[in-house]
Amino acid sequence: MQENTYLMQGMDNEFRPMTITMVISMVCHVLLAAILIYAPISRQQPDFAMPSVIHVSMVTLAETEPEIEAVPEPVIPDDLESLAVSAPEDFPEDEPVKPEPVPEPEPVKDTPDPDVIPEPVKPEPVKPEPVKPEPEKPEPVKPRPEKTEPVAKKIVDNKKVVPRKKRPRFKKPAKIIADTKLVKPRGPSREEIIKNAIANIRKDVKAASGNNDGLAGPGLAGKEASALLNVYQVNLAVRVERNWAFSTQMAGDDKDLEGIIGFSVMPSGQLKNIWFEKKSGNSYMDESIRKAVVKSNPFQAHPRGLFKPHVEVYLRYTPKGLNK
Amino acid sequence: MKKNTIIITGTAIFFFLFCFPFFAMSAGKNVITINPFLRKMPIAVPHFKSVPDNAELSENCAAILSDTLEFTGYFKILKQAAFPDSPHITGKIDSVADFGQWTAIGADYLITGGIKTNGKLFEMELRLFDTVKQTMLIGKRYKGWTVDREKTIRRFCSEVIHHLTGSWGFFDSRIAFVSNGTGNKEIYTCDFNGKSIKKFTTHKSITLTPSWSSDAKWLAYTSYAKGNPDIYIKKLRDKYGSVFSRNGTNATPAWVPGKFMLAASLSFSGDQDIYLLTGKGKLGKRLTRKWGIDTSPAFSPDGTKMAFVSSRAGSPQIYIYDMRSGKVERLTFDGRYNTQPDWSPKGNEIVYSALNRSRIDICVIGVNGRNMRKLTRNSGKNESPSWAPDGSMIVFSSNREGPNRIYIMTAFGTDQRRLLVLPGQQSSPAWSPRLVQKISD
């Protein structure tokens, strides 16, 4: 009895910390349960369903898809006419790219002497206004109730709002592969590149859903919506790649250079913002990729069925594909 | 104490459980890897505006500008047919109405030019625009004699290269080489692009291995004019100079950067070693002492080190001699025959010719002995490489088309092409430093 009393006494002394521990434990369990409930919704996000990196190197694509006819290696055309893109429209207001007024070079008044080098008059240095893209922080994906609805239903709802005629034509991935012949060719092997990229994405989606059904989200519509976004992103990436001119000599033959640039595209296809997630360390290379993104503007409009205020694309740019 | 521990532990668990999903979300970006589509900078050079109107002149000026820039390997010159509007038609060269039209055809840069001729004088305006940033990067106005028109355009090209790369290019440099077109091996010089070829020596004998002084005013070479291989040191302007002659072989002179001094391989002592010579042809310090043939010295840009070829290990290999400490380190180990080193103007690499499996190719290796890369492959015998003054290109000789000719390529082995066509065979090219020359010389 004395022992019991002693034990009880000891428990009285430890009662308060134990209570705190139990309360914290309960809170944690409740939070964990809440997260587990909401977690499937967040997993519907295409980012989780897809692999983190999709390689769309024009060379590797030809090798990765044996079921598709062999894709010839991309050939740099002799003239850049094939690279021609539609004339870019003005930037949106939040992208201040304005040419500064340029000072006129001062004329040299001295009479030229055959033995003296006519000294060129240096114009006042023109300071190109640096484009400072406001890095848009990636919004944390919040579980939204409408995400749980099948995408097919959303398409039906939006048809009421947006007339079909004005919607940009963008078919579902399964049909796109079949219809690539109808798309006006923009250059050599572009169709093959996109076709392979789409096939890769479909393969990845299939693999992801097959390996873990819980990650792919409920229903086929979720997968297709995710694939639709990814196909669109790859389409944008291919367009930037086709506009990316990069001199090996300028970069000093450092093949290990690598950076990540992000940009967002509005539903109309207009470039909204550019930012660097990670700079390569080589200013020329960073500038060349930024130019490629700007030259690619305007992009293709958002595909039908994609309801986002803007689409963000992240490109890992590297000169490794050179001199292959 | 125990209470605090429990609280801290609880908070940490709470933080982890609450925040982990957000970390996972931010890490889940879909990143697509892309590679460059074009390896050069696309640039548009429309015909010049000429006053008075002269279509041939305006086309000719644009062609000179295009050819000069394209020669560097940096640029892809866009075709005139694709241009939206030509400044020589619109008359506007000082501004661009719609940059979007130029980016639409793929141009990253645009150069507009105007030339006004008045008798033997001309006035030229040239501007470089960044079509993506929609700004003018360079604007220059030149005046001069019409005969200097091409040099003036080259000068603007130097400005363009300097603006984009940070170095002044090589448009005011020349190349010396050996040609036997007359039946004798004589030294000739030409512009960087193979034009304006001039015969420099008239020894009517065998003349070899020209070497430029660092001010590009002197040329040293080996000649058998007097029966023995002697070293000739001559000024380019008046061909005045001196001769270094000793018993045995006197060969492969190379100038010490920034000094009126050179190194050469001499065998008067019985063993062929490298010695220093004054610019006036007097013998100086002996640099190498090891038994075996030491030859082909080439100095680092700062003059503190010297690469040379030695057979001390049995086969010719490239070594580096430290001018301060006198220490020698072997640089090349691959292959059994590595010769003709030339130190890059940037100081970080050495180009040389390597014999491997009965092929002679041009290779580049870091001065630390790493990152060796072969620049020529399966294209005959490629020898005597020499760097351009900005380190962006390499000139060399090759028999890939039969006779030995002079070829050039970028420092990465791309854009290999023949530099010039002359009777006979050409060899031993040596690219000069930038010439500080007048427009009219």
Give the tens place of pLDDT for each residue, B416-429: 999 999 999 999 99
Does B76 fall in a domain? yes
Whether A216 and A208 have beta carbons less than 8 Å apart is answered as yes
Does the pLDDT of residue A100 top 60, yes or no?
A: no
Is residue B90 located within the same domain as residue B187? no
Does B424 fall in a domain? yes
Does the pLDDT of residue A3 top 80, yes or no?
A: no
Is residue B388 located within the same domain as residue B254? yes
Whether B111 and B42 have beta carbons less than 8 Å apart is answered as no
CATH code of the domain covering residue B361:
2.120.10.30
What token pair was written down for B83? 């241009």
The alpha-carbon gap from A160 to the nearest alpha carbon of chain B, in Å, equals 31
Instruction: Give residues with Cβ within 8 angstroms of A98, minimum separation 6.
Output: A129, B134
Listed residues B107, B134, B165: the one ending a domain = B165
Of A297, A153, A304, nearest to A228 (Cα)? A304
Indicate the average pLDDT of chain A: 58
- Confidence at residue B8, expressed as pLDDT on a 0 to 100 scale: 58
Is residue B129 located within the same domain as residue B198? no
Indicate the residue type of B438.
K
Is residue B205 located within the same domain as residue B90? no
Does the pLDDT of residue A111 top 80, yes or no?
A: no
Is residue B160 located within the same domain as residue B186? no
- Confidence at residue A26, expressed as pLDDT on a 0 to 100 scale: 85
Listed residues B141, B165, B189: the one ending a domain = B165
User: From residue B440, how far is each of B98, B143, B217, B399 by CA, in Å?
Assistant: 38, 12, 16, 36
Is residue B257 located within the same domain as residue B307? yes
* Interatomic CA distance for residues B245 and B247, integer angstroms: 7
Is residue B419 located within the same domain as residue B302? yes
Query: Considering only CB atoms, which chain B residues are within 8 Å of A123?
Result: 138-140
Whether A275 and A135 have beta carbons less than 8 Å apart is answered as yes
- Confidence at residue A27, expressed as pLDDT on a 0 to 100 scale: 84
Determine, for residues A246 and B36 on separate chains, whether the beta-carbon distance falls below 8 Å. Answer: yes
- Confidence at residue A173, expressed as pLDDT on a 0 to 100 scale: 40
Query: Which of B82, B108, B137 comes nearest A79 by C-beta?
Result: B82
The alpha-carbon gap from B141 to the nearest alpha carbon of chain A, in Å, equals 6
* Interatomic CA distance for residues A62 and B429, integer angstroms: 43
A101 touches chain B (CB under 8 A): no
Residue B88 neighbours by CB distance under 10 Å: 23
Is residue B366 located within the same domain as residue B226? yes
Listed residues B138, B165, B192: the one ending a domain = B165
Does B441 fall in a domain? no
Is residue B191 located within the same domain as residue B112? no
φ/ψ (deg, to 5) at B174:
-130, 165
Domain count, chain B: 2
User: From residue A149, how far is each of A44, A93, A144, A153 by CA, in Å?
Assistant: 11, 35, 10, 7
* Interatomic CA distance for residues A140 and B24, integer angstroms: 10
Walk along chain B (441 residues) and give the pLDDT tens digit of each residue: 455 666 655 555 554 444 444 333 334 578 999 988 888 999 999 999 998 888 899 999 999 999 999 999 999 999 988 888 777 777 777 778 788 889 888 899 999 999 999 999 999 999 999 999 999 999 999 999 999 999 999 999 999 999 998 889 999 999 999 999 999 999 999 999 999 999 999 999 999 999 999 999 999 999 999 999 999 999 999 999 999 999 999 999 999 999 999 999 999 999 999 999 999 999 999 999 988 999 999 999 999 999 999 999 999 999 999 999 999 999 999 988 999 999 999 999 999 999 988 889 999 999 999 999 999 998 999 999 999 999 999 999 999 999 999 999 999 999 999 999 999 999 999 999 988 644 443
Is residue B153 located within the same domain as residue B227? no
* Domain range for B320: 174-431
- Confidence at residue B124, expressed as pLDDT on a 0 to 100 scale: 95
Is residue B231 located within the same domain as residue B158? no
Query: Considering only CB atoms, which chain A residues are within 8 Å of B95?
Result: 102
- Confidence at residue A31, expressed as pLDDT on a 0 to 100 scale: 84
Kindly report, residue by residue over B155-199, the tens digit of the pLDDT.
999 999 999 988 899 999 999 999 999 999 999 999 999 999 999
Does B156 fall in a domain? yes
Is residue B202 located within the same domain as residue B301? yes
- Confidence at residue A195, expressed as pLDDT on a 0 to 100 scale: 66
Whether B222 and B191 have beta carbons less than 8 Å apart is answered as no
- Confidence at residue B356, expressed as pLDDT on a 0 to 100 scale: 85
